[in-house]
Structure 1
Amino acid sequence: MFKLMIQFIQVAKTQNVTQAANNLCLSQPTLSHNMQKLEEKLGSKLFNRHSKGITLTSSGELLYEQAKMMQNLYENTLNKLEKNKLRHQTELKIGCGDAWWHLFIRDSVQDFRDTYPHSNISIDVGNHLQLMNLLLSDEISIFVGHEILGLAQYEGIQFHPLFSSCEEVYVRKGHPLLEITCSNEDIARFPSVDLGASKKRFSHLVQQQNEELTSFQKRHYLQEKVIYNTNSLLTAIDLLQNSDAILPYPIGMRSYFSTFDIVPLQMQECFSKATIGAYLHKDGLQNKQSIALLEQFKNLIKNNPHINGDID
């Protein structure tokens, strides 16, 4: 029936069966037969036929207006279905830490929005173990964070190194440690802000800790040390501003923290250094979107030395 209506619209528009048949790539006899069939189905005369062509009857005029509305509704529905298909085919589900969001991930997301304005976007910002848990459960398709030392072996997950990042130790302006060049022993006397999800909650993701991990924990998270734990960067900044706490964080965030009067300590050595990269499913390598996003990260990092801490 809908096909007959489309043919009727052409006949009504041109008021010439031969021209309408050419437009529809049909023979004139076939189109004439179909219009007669339509009149029979509706039980109404639609055309006044005469030697100079055809004109619409009052019933034909009514049907023409309704048929155009039906055609528009049909085309709009097809358009919405296509957008819905595209929205899910190109959906972006990404995870990252606060620092990497600020330094380059948000630029990638903006580029994605410009390219796919009708696509869904899901962004999880958090601790690297929390994000690994989301990746393993397919709630995100890629995340950027520290290489997870001691990570349990997951055959379907692959790490793609992007750059090395050095961590500084940040404190409020006026902090007593700003008067000296600090050792690890100096900073161990002050509370630490631990920005991340509960380690116990995701301990199953990490194998028995190796010597490097154990050394790191002994060095920075002493049992007698006061820890302020939060998963919010803004909360961490509030804690720093209103206490003598310290926060180890990537050097690339120095400029951002300065706007909150948060500054780095002068340390005797780099507090810690980590490899930053992208984790994704191995089968994601076959996903053009994941590959394109990974290449975009590399280009952004290459063209922005502040990301990995090359600060003048």
Structure 2
Amino acid sequence: MDSRLLHYFVMLAEELHFGRAAQRLCISQPPLSVAIRQLEEQLGAQLFERSSRGVRLTAAGEHLQSRARQLLALSRQAAQEARDIAGGTRGHLRLGFVGSSLYRGLPQALAQMQRTHPDVRVDMLEANSAEQLLGVQQLRLDVALVHSIQPPEGIASRLIASEPFVACLPADHALARAPAVDLTQLKGERLILFSSLVSPAYHQRIYEMCQAHGFAPEVRHEVRHWLSVIALVSLGQGVAVVPSALQRVGLPGLVFRPLAGAHPPSEMLAMWRREPDNPLVQALLEHLRQAVQSLP
């Protein structure tokens, strides 16, 4: 049904007078009469009884009156929601993330997003970088927070955080009190490393850092999560080279020491589809930028 005709019908049903209803609608009376006849023809039902004594609703008209009000209210609500979504103040955001992002400002960014966008629902999926990127390409994710990886065609990216790698050692390790650790000092140590299947980029980066210092690391364990890496270190199962953000975890039995010399950084990037544009992605990225800047 034409919402304009329903609107005219509701006005007349409230006034039960063509002249007053037309005045409220800011139209003349003839177009209102034509509109009511059109609606009755579309429905195949008489909605008003007209007589010298005035206008009154038929049984069909009384039934339609309450439903028409509901339909018009839903229509107004849907139109407002569409405007809100287009303006980035309402909607649904599907976010992929790697575990280390929880220590790189993501919780703070989500808290701020909830305050500024209370009508936005954010669904989160923890996955490795490759899985997230596939999710973005297949329209299952709107934005992905990934480790350093080259975005494919059609995918936009932005650097969110860049920080140094540090040595992660058991608290009783011989190097625990050193001001800095040279990677050559880890030669012969049992290294706990991020799985090459989960994050080949990180695995390869750390492996190459060791090779650049003249040794191939003795990999003791390969795990799927950074928290598993540092947990095994705290249990005395080996040492690790990790992003400095993991110092914020607060796990006991660990010591973090800077690496001596120059090394490639640990990076976290956001990736999303270039088309169609989603204003909620840009809102989240801005909150992430602010959250990362405010981290200690």
Residues 47, 61 of structure 2: 8 Å contact kept: no
Aligned to 1:73: 71
Structure 1 unpaired stretches of 5+: 307-312
Amino acid at match of 1:278: L
Task: Tell me whether 1:250 sits opposite 2:252 in the alignment.
Answer: no
Amino acid at match of 1:257: V
Summarize deviations over 1:45-94 as a string: whole Å, max 9, x none: 7336445x54x35x35x633442223303532563576479669865344
CA distance in 1, matches of 2:259, 2:44: 90
CA distance in 1, matches of 2:157, 2:253: 32
Identity value in percent: 15
SS at match of 2:265: strand
Residues 183, 210 of structure 2: 8 Å contact kept: no
1:39/1:189 Cα in 2 relative to 1: closer, same or farther (>3 Å)?
closer
CA distance in 2, matches of 1:248, 1:146: 15
SS at match of 1:225: strand
How many residue pairs align between the two structures?
A: 288
Q: Which moved more, 1:260-269 or 1:279-288?
A: 279-288
Residue 19 of structure 1 deviates from its aligned partner by 1.0
Structure 2 unpaired stretches of 5+: none
User: What are the residue-to-residue correspondences of 1:1-312 with 2, within 5 Å?
Assistant: 4-32=5-33, 34-35=35-36, 46-47=48-49, 49-50=51-52, 53-54=54-55, 56=56, 59-60=58-59, 63-76=61-74, 79-80=77-78, 83=81, 91-119=92-120, 121-128=122-129, 130-132=131-133, 134=135, 139-140=140-141, 142-148=143-149, 154=152, 156=154, 160-161=158-159, 164-175=162-173, 177-178=175-176, 182-195=181-194, 198=197, 215-218=208-211, 222=216, 224-231=218-225, 233-254=226-247, 256-258=248-250, 260-266=251-257, 269=260, 272-274=263-265, 276=267, 278-280=269-271, 283=274, 290-291=281-282, 293-302=284-293, 304-306=294-296
1:246/1:128 Cα in 2 relative to 1: closer, same or farther (>3 Å)?
farther
Summarize deviations over 1:151-183 as a string: whole Å, max 9, x none: 5x9555565445541222234544565366654
Q: Which moved more, 1:291-300 or 1:162-171?
A: 291-300
CA distance in 1, matches of 2:195, 2:82: 35
CA distance in 2, matches of 1:77, 1:118: 19
Aligned to 1:309: none
Amino acid at match of 2:163: S
Residues 12, 18 of structure 2: 8 Å contact kept: yes
Residue 22 of structure 1 deviates from its aligned partner by 1.8
Residues 169, 271 of structure 1: 8 Å contact kept: no
CA distance in 2, matches of 1:65, 1:285: 42
SS at match of 2:241: strand
TM-score by length of 2: 0.69
Residue 18 of structure 1 deviates from its aligned partner by 0.5
CA distance in 2, matches of 1:157, 1:27: 55
SS at match of 1:178: coil
1:37/1:103 Cα in 2 relative to 1: closer, same or farther (>3 Å)?
closer
